[in-house]
Structure 1
């Protein structure tokens, strides 16, 4: 990986190079590597920012890892990085893909309390999550 070659080339990694690498992991569905890089940033005393967390959360969403996305959402807040509409959208989408409609709905309802205005992606993801949840509930009722 090019990111790992940076120290050998005497190029210092920074928040921009880390975020770019996490974003590349997200686009390639490499959620494990995205989380490893986020952890490596902390060990290197590079504080992840909203871009770091959003890219890692999106990587988890694409990797169908809703639990990891939810964990990142909590970690972000504990690190005093305030979630934005992208953070919520990625976490809601991860819950939707993981069949966690209650969690998706809870996140969506928490947005106004956090002064974050839902966007089209947030609405679509929570609607899809509830629709899938209803379909699952209906399948249990059918005899």
Structure 2
């Protein structure tokens, strides 16, 4: 009982740390381990979340690896989030590999984190690859497609923008104004002038929908 109480106390202390005190969260986790009381998955997750909030991707990756890999999908997502904020897509993909090796299944949060890090790094090749790779076992949402489209648009890869648009449309995804703008540029470069009015109509509808959502109580 005393050991259980110690673990609970440590978890409460770690979870109360602010993003600027990520080092304290890691120190508390180390103290819990050296005290002879094995920490639980909550201990690891709250420490990883603290690293993610502080954008400490290196510490998050090391923490996940040091304690035998990510123990659940929440651990994976927290570590991926830390890498995403630093545009470290290589580490994001590596963390997902650790998760799958441990028989964990990536979810929409995992996919979005990886794709967003690819987008921030303007790595359109990796973004397109991740979309097709992850789309085989998880239902990608519009945010994931938006991230991949943004990466391709930044790299002026209009063909891949059109390919992603086709894939997303087949999945029934609705696009945000940013993605619709990227598609508009891609259609212009492809010479699809006859289809531009249709896209402009979608773009106008998207802006109207967003304005309505913001004005709704």
The normalised TM-score by structure 1 is 0.76
Q: Is 1:68 the equivalent of 2:59?
A: yes
Partner of residue 99 from structure 1, selected from 87, 103, 108: 87
Structure with greater Cα Rg = 2
Q: Is 1:35 the equivalent of 2:58?
A: no
CA distance in structure 2 between the aligned counterparts of 1:17 and 1:40, rounded to whole angstroms: 12
Q: Is 1:49 the equivalent of 2:37?
A: no
CA distance in structure 1 between the aligned counterparts of 2:109 and 2:58, rounded to whole angstroms: 20
The root-mean-square deviation of aligned C-alpha atoms, in Å, is 2.6
Q: Which has the higher contact order (CA 8 A, sep 6+)?
A: 1
Q: Deviations over 1:71-96 (max 9, x none)?
A: 1101110xxx7611011101111111
The normalised TM-score by structure 2 is 0.51
CA distance in structure 2 between the aligned counterparts of 1:106 and 1:44, rounded to whole angstroms: 31
CA distance in structure 2 between the aligned counterparts of 1:32 and 1:116, rounded to whole angstroms: 28
CA distance in structure 1 between the aligned counterparts of 2:95 and 2:35, rounded to whole angstroms: 31
What are the within-5 Å matches in structure 2 for residues 102-113 of structure 1? 102-113=90-101
Mark the runs of 5 or more structure 1 residues left unpaired by the alignment. Answer: 1-11
